[in-house]
Amino acid sequence: MSHQNTLLVTGACGFLGSYLGPILIEKIHKSQILAIGRTPTNTCWKGTPKVQFIYGDLNDPNLWAELPKTITHVFHLAAVIPRREENRKRPSIAKDNLLPLLHLIDFSQAWPDLRQVIFSSSISVYAKTGLLLTEDSLKKPSDIYGAAKLAGEHLLLCLESNGVRVASLRYSSLYGYGQYQGTVLPLMINGAIHKKEILVYGGGKRKQDFLHIKDAAIANLLVYEKQARGVFNIASGISITMRSLAQTINEIFTCNKARIISLSGKEDHDPGFRVDISKAKQELNYHPSFRIGDGLLKLKEEMRA
């Protein structure tokens, strides 16, 4: 794009934001970037005059009121994810995920040049099923977080009447260096390294599609470059059982020296997810770079460094 754009990135200091930042700085020229985060500084957004870092809370309308009126594109990465099981049904999860979107919709009425909003959604909007998930599959969130993501997708569609292109990216399980350590993949890795054991529930048949964080960041860039709209599944396209994941982690991180322990008393009846990414391939030219083995090797290198 040859003209000047002003990009707004929310959740700039989060897991995805820390990977998207360097990509936007390198790949998008003739643009100004406004990066909003909860921490005053973040190294990935430093070193270039094109970035203005803004520290603040997206629930605060005063923050939105002070943004410039020249914004052309929004990458809404910010999310509040319930990490503990007991928090998954708290109403505050809905408020903290939807209130910033309501502010975005409200204050963007004063942004005459706004052309696109790219929203970070989740495959948690879908019903749990063993079937292959397409963008048209049944939506039936099992918790408030998934419901908030689905509601966010619908809320943002009202901007389409103003000529704004809205794209919602439904990510599968993101992983990579810097991720939250309380999910299954880092728990398995830490167990293998420190305890020489990897715990697997039941028979380990549940399948999950793990997406490397850099592939998720690249997907955002592709949506921007294509000026795309609509809903896209963003995943690796390859699901792996929990037992196969444990075996791969054991091989890569311990040279098969850890024990894989099946917790037979904790059978996992969740079928997991298998995700169809053919729409993203066709419309965005999205092709994930990392299979799970490649991504884990890269993670191992980054952990050593």
Tokens of 107: 């204050």
Give the model confidence (pLDDT) of 120-136 as tens digits: 999 999 999 989 999 99
Task: Judge whether residue 208 has pLDDT over 80.
Answer: yes
Specify if 31 maps to a domain.
yes
Distance in angstroms (rounded) separating the CA atoms of residues 228 and 277: 15
Tell me which residue has tokens 């059978």.
Answer: 267
Alpha helices in 231-290 (DSSP H): 242-254, 278-284
**Residue 145 sits in which domain range?**
5-172+211-235
Specify if 246 maps to a domain.
no
Confidence of residue 266 (pLDDT cuts 50, 70, 90): low
More confident residue, 117 or 86: 117
Specify if 122 maps to a domain.
yes
Confidence of residue 1 (pLDDT cuts 50, 70, 90): very low
Distance in angstroms (rounded) separating the CA atoms of residues 79 and 98: 9
Give the model confidence (pLDDT) of 267-299 as tens digits: 566 778 899 999 999 999 999 999 999 999 999
Q: Residue 220: what pLDDT? A: 98
Specify if 63 maps to a domain.
yes
CATH number of residue 65's parent domain = 3.40.50.720
Distance in angstroms (rounded) separating the CA atoms of residues 187 and 242: 12
Q: Residue 41: what pLDDT? A: 56
pLDDT (mean) for 1-29: 89
What 3-state class would DSSP assign to 292? Answer: helix
Q: pTM of the predicted model, to two decimals?
A: 0.94
Specify if 112 maps to a domain.
yes
Handedness of CA 105, 111, 115, 120 (dihedral sign): negative
Specify if 303 maps to a domain.
no
pLDDT (mean) for 192-210: 92
Q: How far is CA 268 from CA 145, 207, 217, 241, in A?
A: 21, 11, 31, 12
Specify if 189 maps to a domain.
no
Number of domains in the chain: 1
Task: Judge whether residue 265 has pLDDT over 70.
Answer: no
Q: Would you tell me the crossing angle of helices 242-254 and 292-304 to the nearest 10 degrees? A: 40
Give the model confidence (pLDDT) of 27-78 as tens digits: 998 899 999 998 765 567 776 788 999 999 999 999 999 999 999 999 999 9
Specify if 261 maps to a domain.
no
Rg (CA), the chain: 20
Q: Other C-beta atoms within 10 Å of 264: how many?
A: 10
Query: Measured in whole angstroms, how far is the alpha carbon of residue 51 from the centre of its chain?
Result: 22
Tell me 258's DSSP state.
S
Give the model confidence (pLDDT) of 41-50 as tens digits: 556 777 678 8
Distance in angstroms (rounded) separating the CA atoms of residues 93 and 208: 24
Please give the share of the chain, as a percent, with pLDDT higher than 70. Answer: 95
| 281: region left, alpha or beta (phi > 0 left; psi from -120 to 50 alpha) | alpha
